[in-house]
Structure 1
């Protein structure tokens, strides 16, 4: 089942259960997917493209969450946390720290990276492997740690 099909099915279920928050998030994701397909001039998006959009939505909310926390807006923090939890249901299972460490070390060896100058090369090789399964800033920290 594609992401769009899953979203349609979950949207119907949210309507039946009168779950306004879930319905709102699902509609927003569907709109983002549709906007992207229009922008790319395609009828359907690939799984990779759908995952990119979903990751972008989660990242935007996480960024906003940090801003609202620092501003002391507890009401908005709670709403965003709920939205993030709903979006996470559609994301692939996140990699553990140990799994990420192994991928980072393997990739560093594959590209023969020796210093921080090779950071871009390593990040460019890692990101396609972990797309949607790990946060880019977390990977960045691990790569920096191993390139010291």
Structure 2
């Protein structure tokens, strides 16, 4: 079953179960998928494109959570955290810090990276090889520390 179809079936289940948070999250996701299908003129999006959309929404939720937490709006931060939990179900398993460090070391060795000027190449290689499995902020910090 494709990821789009799984999202559709989960949406129907959540709607019937009256799971309001999950329904709202999946409704936004389905809208984003539909918009991308129209943009790309496709009948169905490949799972890779759907994962990109999910990762983008996860990033938005994390950013919103941080902003609300800093502003002292714990009520809104809690809503973002719940939505984030619902979205992360659809992402592949995240790399552990050790696995991420190994992937970065491998990318640095493969590319022959030696300075901060090569950071973009290393990040692109790591994020491309492990799509949806890496938090960009964590990877960026690790790459900076290794190239400094």
Structure-2-length-normalised TM-score: 0.96
C-alpha distance in structure 1 between counterparts of 2:88 and 2:121, whole Å: 29
Q: Aligned residue for 1:38?
A: 38
Question: Is 2:86 aligned against 1:86?
Answer: yes
Partners of 2:101 and 2:94 lie apart in 1 by 13
**Equivalent residue runs for 1:64-83 within 5 Å:** 64-83=64-83
- Any conservation in 1 of the 2:4–2:47 contact (CA below 8 Å)? no
Greater displacement, 30-39 / 10-19: 10-19
**Cα deviation 1:89-148 (Å, max 9, x = unaligned):** 011111100000000001100000111111112112211012110111111111111112
- Corresponding residue SS for 2:112: coil
Shift of residue 87, structure 1, vs aligned partner: 0.1
Could you tell me which runs of 5 or more consecutive residues in structure 1 were left unpaired when the two chains were aligned: none
CA contact (8 A) 2:4 2:45 kept: no
Query: Partners in 2 of 1:123 and 1:19 — Cα distance?
Result: 37
Normalized against structure 1, the TM-score is what?
A: 0.96
* 1:95 match: secondary structure: coil
CA deviation map 1:28-63 (0-9, x unaligned)? 110111111111221111111111100000001111
> Which sits farther off after the overlay, 21-30 or 77-86?
21-30
Q: Match of 1:131, SS?
A: coil
